[in-house]
Each structure stands twice: as C-alpha cells, then as structure tokens.
Amino acid sequence: MNRASAGLETIIAKALHRAPASESALLAWPVACGSAVAERTRALSFSDGILRVEVADAGWRRELSNLAPRYVAVINKYAAASVKRIEFVVKA
C-alpha cells in the first residue's frame, strides 16, 4: 500500500508543478486540507504568497487558522509557487 500512495503522491506533485504558478496553490488546497474540509471550504485566490480560503463561519475560521501552518507546509510541498500564509475569509 505504501508504494501505491507514494506513486499517487508523485503524480499529484507533478501535476501541481505543471499547473501555472498562480493556480497551483489553489489546486493544492484540497490535497493539503483533505476531502472533509475541502467540501466545506473554497480556495478563492492566491497573490503575493497569500492563499485566501472561504469558510462558512467564524468557528471554521478559528479552527482552520490553528491548522494553517500544517496546510502551508503541505501546499508548499506540492505547489509551484510558495505560500507564505493562508487567510481564511468568512463567506458573505
């Protein structure tokens, strides 16, 4: 099973590195946060090293802000452009 997951990780990394730098962080968001969080959030934009992610409410923003360093590390592992921080924005 480890070989299969390592192979999948390689495929994802190559695909994200081929994506335009301005889009790779957006595309890496669901990989970094996992499917459960990805279903309840939406990567909005990436500019100047800041990834903006829409969340449902202040509770989600608070919880995900605590996990942001982990998400940044994972995104930077895969994305073509470096993410400095994630800004969580409550859905209007």
Q: What are the CA-CA distances from residue 47 to residues 1, 19, 33 (Å)?
A: 37, 15, 19
CATH number at residue 10: 3.30.300.180
Per-residue model confidence (pLDDT) at position 4: 58
Predicted TM-score (pTM) of the model is 0.87
Cα angle at 68 between 46 and 72, to 5 degrees?
A: 55
Please give the tally of structural domains in the chain.
1
Structure tokens at 90: 């409550």
* Per-residue pLDDT at 37 exceeds 90: yes
Domain range for 34 is 2-90
Q: How many CB atoms lie within 10 A of CB 24?
A: 20
Using 50, 70 and 90 to split pLDDT, how confident is the model at 2? low
